[in-house]
């Protein structure tokens, strides 16, 4: 039966035999008893708990999913796994951790990096000449730009480059890059997929069996496997992904409209869907910091994608400031609280700031 994504997140990755538990339990083991036909060790052969997560995400994305100990572990599998001398085309402005990972490989002499403005499609296409990897984000973090994935993926393949799309902020409910021809999708599972600020985990998904085997081998060599408890919590979180995204997205759309009309807000960045808003306040960094200090329901913290709303001035971080994040930009991860309570908190914080 072909299921809608909202049903896949609930039904996929569950045991199916009569008498099985409805949910795969937490299997805590490193070694397994010797089997002459299948000698297993957890670093190479994950437990059933991790496999359940991978089956759920794989079904949702339409590929083979591999779980990693963190989003950065998933990034590193690609950034550090390219052949020596490779050329990677990466965003000039994007998630600072991913960009730093590629820059570190360049500093070590392992690969060359070309930074591009993902909103300038023609410039990206030009930079792809001789490239081995195109790293994309949709939407970008924290500026929330939306690159032309269809054109960029096609151009990268024409140039002979592998394409990976970080779709953390979109989730598979809004964007499935494999359907657009991407080779790999990356998720920081910590964010929307797990959704409760209690998991550190990442994932890669590919529709290529060959590439899946290569990434599996890379994970085995680096030992970047998540723990069973983290995988269990991530699967449990995914069961409510559709409901959480529906509520948080509706909240974000309404709040983006109200923020755009507020006299203390100079610019609102909202891509039209999803639950992320980035907005700039008048008065510069000091005013933005004052808003973060004044919120009561909204939490001033790093991260995003959880049931609770989080806000942070991103240019306080050296990596974000380095690529031009406006000093007064606040990244606002909208949660599932009542929208009127969120607006009341924003209003009083903007007034206090």
Structure tokens, 256: 């983006």
Establish whether 313 is a catalytic residue. Answer: no
| Cα(218)–Cα(203) distance, integer angstroms | 13
Chain position carrying tokens 């896949």: 8
Q: Looking at 132, 145, 166, 183, which residue is catalytic?
A: 166
Burial class (CB in 10 A: 0-12, 13-18, 19+), 121: middle
Q: What are phi and psi of 64, to 5 degrees?
A: -95, 125
| Cα(335)–Cα(185) distance, integer angstroms | 24
Establish whether 166 is a catalytic residue. Answer: yes
Establish whether 20 is a catalytic residue. Answer: no
Instruction: Provide DSSP, 301-312.
Output: -S---SSS-EEE
| Cα(233)–Cα(215) distance, integer angstroms | 23
Structure tokens, 239: 């069961």
Q: Looking at 114, 176, 191, 219, which residue is catalytic?
A: 191
Q: Looking at 95, 192, 232, 270, which residue is catalytic?
A: 95
Element (H, E) at 339: helix 339-352
Q: What are phi and psi of 316, to 5 degrees?
A: -65, -20
Q: Is the omega angle on the peptide bond into residue 83 within 30 degrees of 0, that is, cis?
A: no
Structure tokens, 145: 């730009």
Establish whether 95 is a catalytic residue. Answer: yes
| Cα(148)–Cα(169) distance, integer angstroms | 16
Q: Looking at 43, 103, 258, 267, which residue is catalytic?
A: 43
Q: How far is CA 202 from CA 77, 150, 227, 341, 353, in A?
A: 11, 25, 11, 32, 36
Question: DSSP assignment, residue 31?
Answer: B
Number of H helices, E strands in the chain: 12, 12
**Residues composing the chain:** 353
Structure tokens, 190: 């910590």
Active site residues: 43, 95, 166, 191
């Amino acid at each position: 039966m072909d299921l809608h994504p909202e049903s896949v997140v609930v039904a996929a990755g569950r045991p199916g035999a009569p008498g099985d538990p409805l949910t795969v339990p937490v299997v805590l083991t490193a070694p397994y008893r010797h089997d002459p036909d299948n000698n297993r060790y957890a670093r190479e052969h994950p437990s059933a708990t991790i496999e359940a997560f991978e089956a759920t995400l794989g079904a949702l994305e339409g590929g083979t999913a591999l779980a990693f100990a963190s989003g950065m572990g998933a990034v590193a599998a690609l950034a550090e796994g390219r052949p020596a001398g490779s050329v990677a085309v990466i965003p000039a402005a994007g998630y600072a951790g991913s960009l730093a990972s590629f820059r570190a490989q360049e500093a070590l002499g392992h690969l060359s990096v070309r930074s591009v403005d993902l909103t300038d499609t023609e410039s990206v296409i030009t930079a792809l000449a001789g490239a081995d990897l195109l790293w994309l984000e949709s939407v970008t973090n924290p500026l929330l730009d939306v690159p032309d994935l269809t054109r960029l993926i096609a151009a990268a393949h024409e140039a002979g480059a592998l394409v990976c799309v970080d779709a953390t902020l979109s989730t598979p409910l809004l964007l499935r890059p494999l359907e657009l021809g991407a080779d790999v999708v990356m998720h920081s599972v910590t964010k929307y997929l797990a959704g409760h600020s209690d998991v550190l985990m990442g994932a890669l998904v590919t529709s290529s069996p060959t590439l899946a085997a290569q990434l599996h081998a890379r994970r085995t060599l680096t030992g970047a496997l998540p723990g069973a408890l983290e995988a269990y919590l991530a699967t449990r979180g995914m069961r409510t992904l559709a409901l959480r995204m529906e509520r948080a997205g509706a909240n974000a759309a309404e709040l983006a409209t109200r923020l755009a009309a507020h006299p203390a807000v100079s610019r609102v960045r909202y891509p039209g869907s999803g639950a992320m808003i980035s907005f700039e306040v008048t008065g510069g960094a000091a005013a933005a910091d004052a808003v973060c200090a004044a919120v009561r329901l909204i939490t001033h913290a790093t991260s995003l994608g959880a049931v609770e709303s989080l806000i942070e001035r991103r240019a306080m971080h050296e990596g974000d400031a380095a690529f031009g994040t406006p000093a007064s930009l606040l990244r606002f991860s909208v949660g599932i609280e009542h929208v009127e309570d969120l607006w009341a908190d924003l209003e009083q914080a903007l007034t206090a700031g």
